[in-house]
Amino acid sequence: AQSVSQHNHHVILSEAASLELGCNYSYGGTVNLFWYVQYPGQHLQLLLKYFSGDPLVKGIKGFEAEFIKSKFSFNLRKPSVQWSDTAEYFCAVTPYGGSQGNLIFGKGTKLSVKP
């Protein structure tokens, strides 16, 4: 069965620190990859996505993610976090051309940024 693993349950950083959140998926075929973010008290929203092409994708608010096919990974990065980045981050995958939007989510990583 397809699955998504997020390695860290809770990450605590100080402002200006660099961030990397790990995401690995298990699926043998072509996939679409996503990072969603949920700020406190708000709804899940799309941070960035990878469908094809350049494996380094840039999203909103200075986030980027790199798809490494050989490692089945799609790690999220930001060079310098801000207090406002405190949120929960979810990695998700759907098979390319698969069931409509049947996203397989990871369990999420809570990021706490200390001012």
Partner 1 sequence: DAMVIQNPRYQVTQFGKPVTLSCSQTLNHNVMYWYQQKSSQAPKLLFHYYDKDFNNEADTPDNFQSRRPNTSFCFLDIRSPGLGDAAMYLCATSLPGTLAGELFFGEGSRLTVL
* Residues in binding contact with partner 1, number by CB under 8 A: 26
| Site map 56..95 versus partner 1, x via CB under 8 A | ----------------------------------x-x-x-
- Tell me which stretch binds partner 1 (CB under 8 A): 11-19, 30-38, 57-65, 75-83: 30-38
* Smallest separation, CB 90 to partner 1 (Å): 7
Alpha helices in 17-100 (DSSP H): none
Question: What whole-number distance in Å separates Cα of residue 45 and Cα of residue 30?
Answer: 23
42 belongs to the binding site for partner 1 (CB under 8 A): yes
Q: Do 93 and 31 form a contact (C-beta atoms < 8 A)? A: yes
Per residue in 75-104, is it b (16+ CB within 10 Å) or e — as a string? Answer: bbebeebeeebbbbbbbbbbeeebeeeeeb
Q: Where along the sequence are the contacts to partner 1 (CB under 8 A)? A: 4, 9, 32, 34, 36, 41-46, 49, 51, 90, 92, 94, 99-108
